[in-house]
Amino acid sequence: MAFPFKRILVPVDFDQNSLKALEIAAKIAQQNDGTVFVLHIVPVDMDVSGMPQYVDLIKRQENADREKLNAIVAEHIAGVNVEILDEMGPPAEVITEVAAKLPVDLIALVTHGRRGLARLVEGSIAEKVLRNAPCPVLAVRQ
């Protein structure tokens, strides 16, 4: 972990709210001559490597997601070093694993602010990342 934050991981789920965290991360990276790692996760809870029909479907989805990510980066980030990452798995686990593997100095993510039953059923990815992250986490409210 280093300050100033030069290596910033931003999970993006194509929701307008996640773009707010991306824009904040870009400003931080620009001020510190850093890099933003834009991460999109295909939320898969089981190993599909042995199931060809699912592997093909997921590969097509990853290609479509990469096109969307390229468009988002072109529209929302200018003058910043960017790397686009695609991963599969449970989102909170993937975010913390990627953050440790790269390693990054900061994770910037949006919190959807779920409460009550929705939070109980869906859980809070931001909360799980905050608990397990190997670096500081900037949680941006929607």
Q: Where are the domains of the chain?
A: 7-141
Q: What is the dihedral of CA 42, 63, 15, 118, to 10 degrees?
A: -20
> Between these two residues, 55 and 114, which has the higher pLDDT value?
55
User: What is the pLDDT, as a whole number, of residue 91?
Assistant: 92
CATH 2.40.50.140 fits 7-141, yes or no: no
Please write the tens of the pLDDT for every residue from 70-125.
999 988 888 899 999 989 889 999 999 999 999 999 999 988 665 555 445 456 88
Rg of the Cα atoms in the chain: 15
User: What is the pLDDT, as a whole number, of residue 104?
Assistant: 97
Per-residue pLDDT band at 136 (split at 50, 70, 90): very high
Please write the tens of the pLDDT for every residue from 5-52.
999 999 998 888 888 999 999 999 999 999 999 999 988 766 656 666
Helix intervals (H) in 1-139: 16-31, 52-76, 91-101, 116-122, 125-132
User: What is the pLDDT, as a whole number, of residue 121?
Assistant: 46
